[in-house]
Amino acid sequence: SQQGEEDPQALSIQEGENATMNCSYKTSINNLQWYRQNSGRGLVHLILIRSNEREKHSGRLRVTLDTSKKSSSLLITASRAADTASYFCATDAGGGSQGNLIFGKGTKLSVKP
C-alpha cells in the first residue's frame, strides 16, 4: 500500500493566491513532515507536525493533521513565484522504526507572476 500520497499532482496558481496541497497516508504515524524540492535540487524541510497536534504554523505555511482521516494539508498563503517547486509529505513508518521517512509522489506547484 502507498503511504504519503499527495494531491493534486500539479497545481498552477497566480502570485498572491493561496495554494493548498493534501496528503493521505495509510498506517499509524508518529509525525508527518512536509518538504520542498526545487527542480533537480535537494529537499528543504518545511514543517513537522506530530501525531498529537492538529495544526501548526510557520510563516506563510499552515499545516493541519487529521489522524482519524489519515490526512494532512499544507496551505501556502499569499504565494510568490519563488514558491514554485515540488512539495512532498513524508511520514515515518510508525511503531519501532528509526524514523525512516516514506515519501509521496509530490505536488508540483507553479506560481505565475
Partner 1 sequence: EPEVTQTPSHQVTQMGQEVILRCVPISNHLYFYWYRQILGQKVEFLVSFYNNEISEKSEIFDDQFSVERPDGSNFTLKIRSTKLEDSAMYFCATATVSYNEQFFGPGTRLTVL
Q: Which residues bind partner 1 (CB under 8 A)?
A: 30-31, 33, 35, 41-45, 48, 88, 90, 92, 97-106
- To partner 1, the closest distance from the beta carbon of 95 in angstroms equals 11
- To partner 1, the closest distance from the beta carbon of 98 in angstroms equals 4
Nearer to partner 1, 25 or 79 (CB): 25
Do residues 72 and 32 make contact, with C-beta atoms less than 8 angstroms apart?
yes
* Closest to 9 (Cα-Cα) out of 112, 90, 101, 87: 87
What does the alpha-carbon distance between residue 89 and residue 6 come to, in Å, rounded to a whole number? Answer: 7
